[in-house]
Amino acid sequence: MSYDAESDLKYIESVDDIPLTGPDLWEGDSDAKLDAAETAESKLEADVNDGVVIGDATTLHAKAANAYASYLLFIGPEHPEDALSGQMYGGAGDDTMEFATEVHDVYRSLRSSIEGSDADSSQDTTEFVL
């Protein structure tokens, strides 16, 4: 399934929220942001929910998906000699790659928090008694 419109987003509220940090080199390029968001939301589902849609998504899920979408945009196309690669797009390759690294670290941290909270809630079998 391919995202055709902003209404297809599951966790990220708006393409205007992307990128999470740094310069918005894709302002007005909704297609690029939607493609990144689709991949990021699928990646989040694969990483924290066995590839299944997350039923009770939280702000952490939205921020994690946004961080990964931002990472995908900052790293650019996969081919290192492509004119749109992270080293050339926007004219400041080192800064662009720094932003990519930063948002990827944010994604990993949030993913770890989500996985930790899911593990805690699934293992809590104690009853609260007054």
* Structure confidence by residue, pLDDT tens digits, 54-96: 999 999 999 999 999 999 999 986 545 444 544 444 445 678 8
Residue 99 is encoded by which pair of tokens?
Answer: 């932003």
Q: Note the pTM of the prediction, 2 decimals.
A: 0.80
Q: What is the mean pLDDT of the chain?
A: 83
What is the structure's pLDDT at 79?
44
Tell me the C-alpha distance between 47 and 44, whole Å: 5
CB 67 within 8 A of CB 103: yes
Separation of alpha carbons 64 and 104, rounded Å: 9
